[in-house]
Amino acid sequence: MAAAPGDEGGGPPRDSEWPGFFITFEGVDGAGKSTQVAALAGALRSDGHDVLTVREPGETVLGELIRVLLLRPAPAPLDPWAEALLFVAARAQLLAETVLPALMRGTVVIADRFVDSTLAYQGGGRGLDRRSLLALHRAACGDVWPDLTVLLDLPPGAADRRRRDSQLPLDRMELSPEAFHAAVHRTFRELAEADPQRIVVVDGQRPAVVVSQRVYAVAAERLAEVGGLSSRPSA
């Protein structure tokens, strides 16, 4: 069931507390996020914006160590809450060390995954209670929400084909059963339905160049709505 913003769906306070602009990309594995993050960063830099890109989990020393723990095939199944807490620990460190200072400097920060991934993978996929995950986000990550989230939508079958075609070794999350990936996909869609103002769904099956044009159009419009970064109130 679609959830109400601010409750099950996650509800950011809409007036950002930073002079920068926070954009996140979400989607199932293989949706093409990293290509689109790079394309958008390039386009916004050409427009004269100061842009920082980050990916989760990782970037900080702690985050990269956690990434190895989370993504390498594990000898025993990870407890779902242990898994969630590790993703959130990496996020808390990334926010404190990198993302929030950049946003406070007026930078456009583009993140490859953020809290919606925890809601979709650990909530939808592993079955953890969404309210508890939201409470954890409030407690550990200061209830920070993006100004804009781009959901690259790719049906599970197509994502599966892309993962196999890439011929790269699959990580621990990618090795999860098909039903897990289907639940993750479904949850992303629910989150987008519950919060259409923040989460814009873009068809990830279109050619990459078409996707990047659409993403740029959305981001440029939102940046214009906030009056460009320089004139944004910082309260």
Report which secondary-structure segment, H or E, holds 35: helix 33-46
- Which region among 46-54, 99-107, 117-125, 219-227 touches ligand TYD (by CB under 6 A)? 117-125
DSSP for residue 19: S
Angle between helices 156-166 and 178-194 (to 10 degrees): 130
Asked if 56 touches ligand TYD (CB under 6 A), the answer is yes
Distance of CA 28 to the CA centre of its chain: 10
Asked if 117 touches ligand TYD (CB under 6 A), the answer is yes
- The β-bridge partners of 25 are 112, 150
Structure tokens at 200: 């814009």
Structure tokens at 142: 């200061």
Asked if 188 touches ligand TYD (CB under 6 A), the answer is no
Residue from the set 170, 173, 200, 226 that interacts with ligand TYD by CB under 6 A = 173
Nearer to ligand TYD, 169 or 207 (CB): 169
135 in helix, strand or coil? helix
Asked if 29 touches ligand TYD (CB under 6 A), the answer is yes
49 in helix, strand or coil? coil
The distance of closest approach from Cβ of residue 235 to ligand TYD in the complex, given in angstroms and rounded to an integer, is: 30
- The β-bridge partners of 24 are 111, 149
The distance of closest approach from Cβ of residue 29 to ligand TYD in the complex, given in angstroms and rounded to an integer, is: 4
Asked if 57 touches ligand TYD (CB under 6 A), the answer is yes
CA nearest neighbour of 96 among 48, 142, 155: 142
Nearer to ligand TYD, 61 or 217 (CB): 61
The distance of closest approach from Cβ of residue 17 to ligand TYD in the complex, given in angstroms and rounded to an integer, is: 22
- Which region among 4-12, 13-21, 112-120, 195-203 touches ligand TYD (by CB under 6 A)? 112-120
CA distances from 102 to 9, 12, 98, 164 (A): 26, 19, 6, 36
Asked if 118 touches ligand TYD (CB under 6 A), the answer is yes
Structure tokens at 68: 């190895």
The distance of closest approach from Cβ of residue 50 to ligand TYD in the complex, given in angstroms and rounded to an integer, is: 24
Using CB under 6 A as the criterion, which residues of the chain lie in contact with ligand TYD when the complex forms?
Answer: 29, 33-34, 55-57, 71, 87, 112-113, 117-118, 121-122, 171, 173-174
